[in-house]
Amino acid sequence: MEEPNDADGTRRQLVRRYLHCYGPSTPAHFAAWCGISTADAARSLASPDTVEVDGHRFVLTDDIERLTSAPPATGIRLLPPRDPYLLDRDRTALVPDRE
């Protein structure tokens, strides 16, 4: 087995940080976020650190339990301008049912 080079380790760390903050995410969203091709993003997201959910989104394996066991949200949360959640391209993951 070939040793990963520094660029591979750096990319893997970038994917981990991105998914921890914005996951679950698609290759297209990751590509747009870091300015690479969708094919390159798909290769980067397909790693031992990630798992595919919903057939096209990726999430960190380490975050699965945290995401699936989160308590239901109650009340209202107000977000300030330029909050990362407002910049998220996959808004349907945040509000799947508008009602």
Dihedral sign for Cα atoms in the order 80, 90, 93, 27: negative
pLDDT in tens, 28-86: 999 999 999 999 999 999 988 999 998 889 999 999 998 889 888 889 888 888 777 66
* Composition of the chain by helix, strand, coil, percent to 5: 50, 10, 40
CATH label, 6-65+74-93, candidates 1.10.230, 3.30.70, 2.60.120, 1.10.10: 1.10.10
Structure tokens at 51: 């798992």
Task: Tell me the whole-structure pTM to 2 decimals.
Answer: 0.69
Domains of the chain: which residue ranges? 6-65+74-93
